[in-house]
Amino acid sequence: MDFASRLKPAHLDLILHIAESGQLQRAAQMTRMSQPAASRVLTEIESRAGGALFERHPKGMVLTPLGEIVIRHGKVILEEVRALDREASRMAGGQTGRVRVGSVTGPAVGVLMPALRQVKAEAPDIEATIEVGPSSDLVRGLVAGRFDFVISRLPAEHDSRDFLMYPARSEMVALLARPGHPLAGRSGVTLEEVRACEWVIQELGSPIRLAVEHAFHAAGLGVPQRVTNSSSLLIALSLLEGSDIIAPQSIEVARMLAEGPLGAQIAVIELAEPISVSPCFVIRNRYRQLPMAADRVLRAVLGML
């Protein structure tokens, strides 16, 4: 164990080159050592190994049985060391590693996924975990260390001084409906007109619902009364089919649906006055250093804003 624990990769490299070339001088050149230094290293290795690794002949050096054992294991050790060096270099350069990000729906679609596609095109070995949820759950997960960073709003119970926060895009609300909806295809639709419709809307306290309700109150109107409460996009799309229900979603989600296979089944009601949601932030813990892969994705996200 004393012999193995004192061997260095440079020592193994020298022994391998001696075995390949049969010449100490040539091996010294290949490992960028002087011949006297290479000779001293070999003498030290053989002393610790308890015997000669090479037989010296006028025409060169030939492995002894002990030398063959050292070479056999040395090749494995060197390959593992080189693999470790390659992987460490790739991770240090943000070419590999893991990133865990949480986001509310709109920025996840409009910012996070395009940024992640950009990073994965350059570094396909990065493994990403993406979670979409409400801001309260996301920031709680950030504090607990489940996320490297999140795109969300900062709930009131958290101190902003604990975080590094970067302004993200402001979200706008799109009112989704089926293409045959009586208000679809028109411009300048009023809140009074949509108020009379049936709605499938996010649960109480959610940012989009608060924005919609604030818009009605600001216009001096009561909020819609015929409401199905659900934050599920799948539920909203299911209810839109074949009925005149209205589903408020972020403009990013509306664009994603319009550009996808469901585009022909979705219409957006054009309001006279747009509805905006309270702004999001890209939030990271002030006191934790980001892994290189996460830092690379964060920089791509900020570049999209």
Domain total of the chain: 3
Half-sphere exposure of 66 (CA within 13 A, CB side): 12
Instruction: Based on the fold, state whether residues 162 and 237 are members of the same structural domain.
Output: no
Q: Are 226 and 253 in contact (CB under 8 A)?
A: no
Q: Are 115 and 303 in contact (CB under 8 A)?
A: yes
What is the per-residue pLDDT across 235-288, written as a single tens digit (0 to 9) for each? 999 999 889 999 999 998 998 888 888 778 899 999 999 999 988 999 999 989
The pLDDT of residue 221 is 95
For residue 177, the cross-strand partners are 267
Residue 303 has pLDDT above 90, yes or no: yes
Last residue of a domain, one of 92, 120, 138: 92
Instruction: Based on the fold, state whether residues 100 and 120 are members of the same structural domain.
Output: yes
Instruction: Based on the fold, state whether residues 15 and 88 are members of the same structural domain.
Output: yes
Q: What is the CATH number of the domain that holds 13?
A: 1.10.10.10
Instruction: Based on the fold, state whether residues 297 and 153 are members of the same structural domain.
Output: yes
Instruction: Based on the fold, state whether residues 141 and 268 are members of the same structural domain.
Output: no
Tell me if the pTM is above 0.75: no
What is the per-residue pLDDT across 80-104, written as a single tens digit (0 to 9) for each? 777 777 666 666 666 678 899 999 9
Domain residues for the domain of 13 are 2-92
Residue 298 to residues 155, 235, 290, 301, Cα–Cα distance (Å): 21, 32, 9, 5
Residue 13 to residues 47, 52, 56, 66, Cα–Cα distance (Å): 18, 17, 19, 16
**In sequence order, which residues have a C-beta less than 8 Å from that of residue 175 and are 6 or more positions away?**
194, 246, 247, 248, 268, 269, 271
Residue 302 to residues 60, 146, 167, Cα–Cα distance (Å): 61, 21, 9
Instruction: Based on the fold, state whether residues 179 and 209 are members of the same structural domain.
Output: yes
The pLDDT of residue 99 is 94
The pLDDT of residue 245 is 96
- What confidence category does residue 9 fall into, taking pLDDT thresholds of 50, 70 and 90? confident
What is the per-residue pLDDT across 183-233, written as a single tens digit (0 to 9) for each? 998 999 999 999 999 999 999 888 999 999 999 999 999 999 999 999 899
- What confidence category does residue 1 fall into, taking pLDDT thresholds of 50, 70 and 90? very low
Distance CA 179, CA 265 (A): 6
Q: What is the CATH number of the domain that holds 102?
A: 3.40.190.10
